[in-house]
Chain A
Amino acid sequence: MSFIEIKNLWQRFGEQVVFEQLNARVERGEFVTIVGASGCGKTSFLNVLLGTQRPSRGRVLVAGQPLRDEPDAERGVVFQRYSVFPHLTVVQNVLIAREFEGSPLLGRLFGARRRRALAEVAELLQAVGLAEAANKYPCELSGGMQQRLAIAKALIKKPKILLLDEPFGALDPGIRADMHALLSALWREHRLTIFMVTHDLKEAFQLGSRLWVFDKIRRDRHSPEAYGAHITYDIPIDRNSNALRRGAQQTAVAQRRKYEAVPTAAGR
C-alpha cells in the first residue's frame, strides 16, 4: 500500500472538466513537482489534496484512509500569497501554531510553556534565516522573507504532506536559489512528502524527485471544455545524478510515445 493513492480522480465545474482520470501512487518522502499550462487544474488538484475542494469523482487515500474533507494539521500549505497573518509579528506567526495546540480556549501560551515554544520557534527562524527579523510585521518584510516565513510556519507542525502552490513565483533568482537549498534540506531532514506546483521547468527538475506534467490528451475542437487534463508524463528524477536525470528525460520521451499511441478524440 502506498502512502498516498489517487484513484480515478475527476474534477468538474459545471460543463467544464478540469482534470480527469487521475491515477497515481506516491510514496512517503517523495517530492512531486507539478507543471502544466495555466488553467489546466494544478491549483484545483492541490485544493483537493488540501480538503478545501471536493472532487467530482474518485478519491484520495492517505495511508489507506480517505482524505479528510477539511484542512487540518496533517497537511501544510504555502500559497503564492496570503500565507502569513498580517497582524502578527514573524515570531508570533510561527508561535501561533503551538498556541493553537496548547491552549484551546484563549489560543495563547504563558509562562514556561510559552518560553519553551519560543525557543523552538527561534531555532526554526534561524534555519530559514529570519532570526534578525523576528519582531517585524509581515508588511515590513520583502517578498522573499515573507515566503520564508510561510515555509517556517508550514514546517513547525511537521506536516506529513506539504503542498506548495508556486511558492517562489514572485522571488528574484538569488533568493529563489536560497529557498531551493532551504527546501531541499528540510525535505531530506524531515522526510516530508511534498507536492509543488511551479511554472519553472528547471526548478521542477532541480527540486523534485518526481515530475508530473498536467496536460490534456484528448481534445475536442468544438467544445474545448469537454475533456480535462491528465498526468501526461510521470518522470522519476534522481536528484543525485545528472546522468540519471538524462535517463529520466529519455523515459519522458518514451512516455510521450506511449501517450501519443493512445487513440485520441476528434480534432487532435
Chain B
Amino acid sequence: MAALATAAAIQAIAMKKLINYTPSAWARVCLGLLPFAVLLAAYIVASDIRLAQNPSDKLLPSIGSMLAAVDRMALQPSRRSGEYLLWVDTASSLSRLALGVGISAAIALVVGVLNGAVPLLRANLSPLVRAISLVPPMAILPILFIVMGLGEGAKVSLIVIGITPFLIRDLQSRTLEIPAEQKIKAQTLGASSWQLIVRILLPQLLPRLIGSVRLSLGSAWLFLIAAEAIASTEGLGYRIFLVRRYLAMDVILPYVLWITWLAFVIDWMLDRCSRRLYPWFYR
C-alpha cells in the first residue's frame, strides 16, 4: 500500500512537465553565476597551459598580468601624457555615446510621434525613413569623414545615422499601437490635434522610447567603436585598436570587460529610470 503511494508520488513528481519547474530566488542566482564561473575557470586553465609552454605567450595573458595592465591604465598617470588613460578613454567614449543616442532619441521622438499621429505626414515621411534605414551606416562612414573631417562630428553622426531610422520606425509603430479608442475618446473630451499629441500620445511614448533606446544601444556601441577605431586620439575603441598592434591582450581583454560592464550599467539604469518615472507602464 505504502509502496504504491510512494510510486504514485514519484510518478506525480516525474509527471510534472519541465516547463513548470521554477527555481527559487537563490537557485536562480547560483544557476545564473554558474556559466560565468565555468568560463573563468576554463580561461585560467587554458592560460596556464599556454604560459607553461611559452612564458612570453601573449594570446591568453594570466589574470595577474591583466590586473597589472589595469593598474597601469587606470591608476597610474601615462608616461607620455600624464593622463589616466582608462578614465580619459571612458569619458570621451561615453560623451560621444550620450550625445549620439540623445540626438537620435530626440529626433526619433518628434518624427516618430508625428508620423504615427498625423496620417498626412506619415504618407509624406514614412517611405523616406524606410529608405534611409536601408542604407548601411558603415558604408557612409567615409563620406562622413570627408564631409565633417576627423573630429567629433563624424563619430557622433555615425551613431545618429546608425540608430535613428530604427528608433523612428519603432516609435512610429508604437504610436500606431495606441488604441484608436483613446484618440477618439480624447476628441470627445474636446482635444485638438496638438493637445492629443502632447497630452495623450507623447507621455505614453516616453517609456516606449526608453525601451527602444535600450534595444538600440548595442548598435550604438558598435558604431562608436568602429568610428573611434578609424579616426580618434582617445576613446575605448581607439585604445583597443591601438594596442592591438602590440598584441596587448592584457589590455584588450580588461577593456572589453569594462565596455561590457558599462553597457550593462547603462541598460540597467535606463530600466530603473523608466520604472520609477512611468509606473503605470509596468502593470
Contact = CB atoms under 8 A, between A and B. Distances in A.
Interface of A: 50, 52, 70-73, 75-77, 79, 81-83, 85-87, 96-97, 99-101, 104-108, 137-140, 153-154, 156-157, 159
B192 interface: yes
Contacts of A154: 188
Name, among B181, B186, B189, B281, the residue most crowded by chain A CB atoms within 10 Å (CB to CB): B189
A89 B232 CA distance: 49
A82 B204 CA distance: 14
Contact of B190 (A70, A100, A140): A100
Contacts of A81: 179, 181
Contacts of B281: 86-87
B191 A82 contact: no
A77 B204 contact: no
B190 A137 contact: no
A73 B185 contact: no
B249 to A, nearest CB: 50
Nearest to A165: B181
A87 B204 contact: yes
A139 B282 CA distance: 9
A107 B181 CA distance: 20
Interface in B216-253: none
Interface string B175-204: 000010110111111111011001110011
A96 B181 contact: no
B188 A159 contact: yes
A83 B181 contact: yes
Contact of A77 (B188, B190, B199, B203): B188
A263 to B, nearest CB: 40
A50 B183 CA distance: 13
Given A96-B199, A100-B195, A157 B280 contact: no
- Which 10 pairs show the lowest CB-CB distances between chains A and B? A82-B181, A71-B187, A139-B283, A73-B190, A97-B189, A82-B179, A137-B280, A107-B199, A107-B195, A100-B190
Nearest to A137: B280
Interface string B30-51: 0000000000000000000000
A221 to B, nearest CB: 35
